Chains A and B, each alone.
Chain A
Amino acid sequence: MEDGKQVAEWFRQQFESLRTQVARVVVGQEEVVENVLVAVCAGGHALLEGVPGLGKTLLVRTLAQALNLQFSRVQFTPDLMPADITGTNILAETEGGGRAFAFRPGPIFANIVLADEINRATPKTQSALLEAMQEHAVTVGGKRYPLESPFWVLATQNPIEQEGTYPLPEAQLDRFFFKILVDYPTLDELREIVDRTTGATTPQPEVVADRETLLKLQHVVREVPIARPVQDFALRLVVGTHPNSPYAAPEVNRYVRYGSSPRGAQTLILASKVYGLLDGRYNVAREDVIRALKPALRHRVLLNFEAEADGITPDALLDKVLEHVQRSETEPLKV
């Protein structure tokens, strides 16, 4: 049996080297980078949301370069068709001079797929990603084509410019492991960005991990143990997003239309495990769960009209959920 300490140390080193490589190109956005890497280590897809020009695409592209994996980028537009993503059967000449339909894979057949401005495509095209994201396979012309592991979809979307966009449906959102909000850089970060991008040379990331390494990272994450009370805490948080549940805060009952699906719970636990390892531990703590709460559940909590009218954001609501669950959590012994 491998030594857990060494494995954990190796995991942290790999994670750090990836982060370092990304940081060579992407200035600041440490939390965003970390969350993207957490999603990658957990084997989940990530949705990055932010105004244009904040480096979302650059981040994903840099990551793909550092990982030495097959990378494809799809710019989503309203006229993009599902076949443009999944691939299609074409009539091709055979060696014998005959003609037969042959499957030409689309950009989805890569290890890392950057779905840029995913909300610009029509729902039909967006839904083409559903099967690929969940089952790591696509079906074209009645034939199922598996995708090579590891497979990640890292999508970006712009919260503004709502005209001509198609908000992702709930089912589609639920497939994303994390929804990561990308904020403006600080003044220092902006200065650094300007320095790096207006100079003569542009830094390039080195390849620090290959396919096997990433698969092993994903495996290691799943080995991290979690105590039953901690797991219950995570599950109470998830159930706490459900309106009228026993753990729901009054704000949830008022503002939430639909709460998180079981995928939210899976995401929360997996992400917590990564955070636990990154923290130098071999277990999941409540702090890890709390850290994973917002990126894991913010896109899984669907607010009603009243929330939007009152300016309530999913993050604010999740804060209430956390507060409520923590308050309701009694100590087993009051001393």
Chain B
Amino acid sequence: MALQVAEWVDRLRPYRKRVRGLLAWRLGAMGGTTGALIATVLSLMDWVGWLVVPIYWLPLCVVLGLLLGVGRALTLRIPDSALVILIDRRAGLKDRLQTALEHTDAQHLFDLALHEDAQYALHQADPRQIFRYRFGRWQGFFVASVALMLFMHFLPQILAVALPERREEQKQIQQSAEEIKEVAKPILEEAKKPEADEIAKRIAQNVELYNKRAREAKMDKREAMLRYNQILEDARKLEQRNTQRMEQVLNKGQIAGEQLEQAAQKQQQQLSNAMRDLQNQMNQLQQQLQSGKDQQGRPLSAPERQQLQSRLNQLQATMNALQNPNAQNIQSQLNDLDRQLQQLQRQLQSGKDAQGNPLTSEQMEQLKKRMQELQEQIRALKLSKEAQEFLRKLYNDPAFKEAMEHLRQLAEKMQQKQREQDPEKRQQLQQDIEKQLQELEKRLEELAKKYKTDEDIRKLAEQIRDQIKQLKELNQCNGACTGLGMCMGLGMGMGGGGTKQKGAWDKGDFFGQPERFNQGEKQPELKIPMKDQAISGSQPLLPGPADYVEFEAPPVPGGSSIPLSRALPTYQKKAEQALSQQKVPPAERQRVKRYFESLQSGGK
């Protein structure tokens, strides 16, 4: 019985599975090879510096290539006709399967025999034998390309280990990278914040990149210098920008403080004026009562005297309330004044006095004047107790005064720092600002504690404290920026960037001076007045004419920064090397030995 196509498909299933596996084996190797080659190119580009390639990209490329290849193999359609051709060829079935699959209708003489023959042949074949997993050409390519990729990635590090001069260079670069990272930590922290400055982000990125390339030994001296200078330039920009922002914040604080002060003064002035007016009125009334005459010199009648006395009492009560600001006093006084004012208003509107007698125009004028007096008293009282108290307390508080003083000083220092070019002085100013900020914070803490029950003052102090915190953060960033300008010299023992040390890269290195890098300039000469001075050491003991001339060394400004005990062994070692390598003339050998012996004994 001839098999139908579906039956053939069923019988071919194990072969199809095997072929798919082999396809995945082959296409995976092809994809992996492609991925590894791409990774190699990326690694090369990373080394040259054309591209920044994180380390995880390399295995990612390989794995991605592998997965793509395998994925392609798993999704590839394997037609029956192609499969049977493969089986025919691999198993040496002499095209039996193809022919059988094409002749499934069993209408021809040999169709049945052919199907039986093909089935038998297929039955005899073993998919695992026909389609074997072999380590073929593509698998070889894959292994080779991965090896190439690894070699390319680790080549700089291999060179750094193999070549002594490169090893030394890379060691220095790595040290510098660690120092830069340490110094720039505040900037790196700042850059992590979402609202971080673009320059800070760029610095963080460049510092990370510098570290990565140093770690992977992919930088030479020249590139390290260029990258460092780039970081430094950005750090300077960031410092300038932060300083501007600090000034703005500080100005706001200052303006707030000044405004508060002005408002306090103004209110105090108004209160004083109101009290002085009250006092004047009281004096006038007292004079009239004492003299028994009114302002025009007419004798006072008994009711008029009584009225004057009553006004005097009232003014006295208002004055008392102002001098002893007590909520209850002020309120009762205000109520009293208000009642009187309403009474006067009623009289003025009706045109009759309290007894119902019509008012003369003179009396009306007096009533208006009286109302005005009452209104002034009410206004004076309305400068509330809390306001008076708040202003009085704050204005008279030494802590507040100190805080304001610190703010003023801060502004001055920052302006001074902005003008200053000398990095050391800038560093000093930076430290001063730091101190000022700390002091200011202390004062504000003090204020906040002292007035913890006083809501307005506490809020004010907290507001200013928050601004100060912001200032501190900016200042820390600026500190890191300033520190960056100095760290290369320290880390590498190099001449630039404000250090006095002179290290291995002293010739032609302009770390910390990007504007001078690669411009072929000479290092600036020290313009220090020189004074001849005898160097310590014994005079030659050997007889005969001396063939040397002694030079007296110039003084080192500010004294030596390295103690003799540390410097001496290095120089002594060099001297010993020079002696052993016959670099010292025979006549001078003893002299050199004695010189160092004398130094050693002096050092002890």
List A residues at the B interface (Cβ < 8 Å).
1-5, 7-8, 220, 223-230, 279, 281-287, 331-335
Contact = CB atoms under 8 A, between A and B. Distances in A.
Which 9 A-B residue pairs are closest in the complex by CB-CB distance? Answer: A332-B82, A4-B113, A285-B94, A283-B99, A282-B110, A227-B98, A223-B109, A4-B110, A282-B114
B88 to A, nearest CB: 8
A67 B584 CA distance: 118
Given A4-B114, A281-B117, A332-B82, A227 B22 contact: no
B81 interface: yes
A334 B96 contact: no
B26 interface: yes
A285 B131 CA distance: 21
A225 B103 contact: yes
A184 B96 CA distance: 37
Given A283-B95, A283-B96, A335-B23, 16 more contacts: A4-B109, A4-B113, A7-B110, A225-B114, A226-B99, A228-B98, A279-B94, A283-B110, A285-B94, A286-B94, A286-B95, A332-B79, A333-B23, A333-B78, A333-B86, A335-B22
Q: Which of A230, A279, A282 has the most CB of B within 10 A?
A: A282
Nearest to A277: B110
Nearest to B84: A227
Nearest to B115: A282
Contacts of A333: 19, 23, 78, 82-83, 86
Interface of B: 19, 22-23, 26, 78-79, 81-83, 85-86, 89, 94-96, 98-103, 108-114, 116-117, 131
A282 B117 contact: yes
Contacts of A281: 94, 96, 117
With a 10 A CB-CB cut-off, give which of A3, A279, A331, A332 has the most chain B CB atoms.
Answer: A332
Contacts of A225: 99, 102-103, 108, 110-111, 114
Given A285-B94, A287-B94, A335 B19 contact: yes
A283 B100 CA distance: 8
10 contacts: A7-B109, A227-B102, A230-B98, A282-B110, A282-B117, A284-B99, A287-B94, A331-B86, A332-B86, A335-B22
A335 B131 contact: yes
A227 B104 CA distance: 12
A205 to B, nearest CB: 30
Contact of A8 (B85, B113, B131): B113
A286 B95 CA distance: 7
Given A225-B103, A230-B99, A283-B96, A332 B112 contact: no
A11 B89 CA distance: 27
Contacts of A224: 110
Nearest to B116: A5
A3 B98 contact: no
A335 B113 contact: no
Contacts of A229: 81, 85, 95, 98
Contact of B95 (A4, A284, A332): A284
Nearest to B106: A1
B12 to A, nearest CB: 13
A334 B26 contact: yes
B94 A228 contact: no
A7 to B, nearest CB: 6
A229 B96 CA distance: 12
Contact of A223 (B19, B86, B110, B112): B110
A7 B81 CA distance: 28
A2 B89 CA distance: 31
Contacts of B109: 1-2, 4, 7, 220, 223
A interface secondary structure, majority: loop
B190 to A, nearest CB: 57
A278 to B, nearest CB: 13
Nearest to A332: B82
Nearest to B102: A227
A257 to B, nearest CB: 33
B23 A4 contact: no
Contacts of A279: 94
A206 B79 CA distance: 52
Given A281-B117, A333-B78, A335-B26, A227 B111 contact: no
Residue among A1, A227, A332, A334 with the highest chain B CB neighbour number at 10 A: A227
Nearest to B107: A1
Q: Which of A4, A223, A284, A285 is the most central at the interface, judged by chain B CB atoms within 10 Å of its CB?
A: A4
A334 B90 CA distance: 12
Contacts of A331: 85-86, 89
A4 B94 contact: no
Nearest to A276: B94
B236 to A, nearest CB: 61
Contacts of A220: 109
A335 B86 contact: yes
Among B78, B99, B116, the most chain A Cβ lie within 10 Å of the Cβ of B99
B16 to A, nearest CB: 10
Contacts of B100: 283
A230 B114 contact: no
A146 to B, nearest CB: 28
Contacts of B81: 229, 332
A228 B23 CA distance: 25
Q: Which of A285, A331, A333 counts the most B-chain CB atoms under 10 A from its CB?
A: A333
A224 B108 CA distance: 8
Q: Which of B22, B78, B81, B114 has the most CB of A within 10 A?
A: B114
Nearest to B25: A335
Nearest to A6: B113
Contacts of A2: 109
A117 B209 CA distance: 92
Nearest to B21: A335
Contacts of B116: 5
A8 B110 contact: yes
B122 to A, nearest CB: 14
A223 B108 contact: yes
B83 A230 contact: no
B233 to A, nearest CB: 56
A279 B94 CA distance: 10
B221 to A, nearest CB: 51
Given A333-B23, A333-B78, A335-B19, A227 B113 contact: no
Contacts of A284: 95, 99
B117 A230 contact: no
Contacts of A287: 94
Nearest to B76: A333
A331 B110 CA distance: 27
A287 B96 CA distance: 12
A331 to B, nearest CB: 7
Contacts of A286: 94-95
A242 to B, nearest CB: 25
A283 B114 contact: yes
Contacts of A223: 108-110
B103 to A, nearest CB: 5
Contacts of A8: 110, 113
A2 B224 CA distance: 90
A268 to B, nearest CB: 15
Contacts of B117: 281-283
A332 B90 CA distance: 13
Nearest to B23: A335
Contact of B99 (A3, A4, A7, A227): A227
Given A331-B89, A335-B23, A4 B98 contact: no
B26 A4 contact: no
Contacts of A1: 109
Contacts of B79: 332
Nearest to B22: A335
A158 B4 CA distance: 54
Nearest to A233: B95
Contacts of B108: 223, 225
